[in-house]
Amino acid sequence: MRSVKNDMQSSALVFEKLVWPVISPWIDAGELLKMENVKDSNFAKLLDMKAGIDGWQIHSDGMRGIASRVQITKAWNTFTVRMSRDSGSPTEYEKRLKAITTGKYIYPYLTVQAYVKTWKGPILSVGMSKTSDIIEFIRLGLNTVKRAPNAEFAICPWTEMQQNGFRVKVKQFLS
């Protein structure tokens, strides 16, 4: 049986090996700094838990945080954002909204969601948007909501975001 930790490691590896080559031309390439390569694992954990940053794009002009979600499932072609937890713990939506609206905290500049057939590939689809655009789409109530065990998620379809004027880069692959 797979653990959450194993799935997170697999997701990070798929992002580096399969997804990064797809999205890097969209964002003027640069280098990907994976959080697993950060020597201070507590710092990497804090960046993930508090800011939602899974990696950094290092570019000659600067750097920016990236949130990534890779899932083994059919290509839903949506961004999913946790809106509430039954436990009452702060959610991704609450943390990103506060960081964006107050300007006091860091958050991932980009969010990438990819769907793969297995942890070895192939990629089914990849979507990328500015995190602030995804949060604004939700804030405007343009999303739908899906209930999962112990939580609710905002579902943000890539095509609906595009139809509402949000920039979303999408690449579909034959399955």
Question: How would you write the pLDDT of the chain (175 residues) with one tens digit per residue?
Answer: 456 566 677 888 999 999 999 999 999 888 998 776 566 678 888 888 889 999 999 999 999 999 999 999 999 999 999 999 999 899 999 999 999 999 999 999 999 999 999 999 999 999 999 999 999 999 999 999 999 999 999 999 999 999 999 999 999 997 5
In the chain, the DSSP E strands lie at 31-34, 55-59, 62-72, 78-85, 110-116, 123-130, 144-148, 151-157, 168-172
Give residue 32's domain range. 4-172
- Are 105 and 112 spatial neighbours (Cβ–Cβ below 8 Å)? no
Domain count, the chain: 1
Please say whether the beta carbons of 131 and 109 come within 8 A.
yes
Q: Is 0.75 surpassed by the pTM of this model?
A: yes
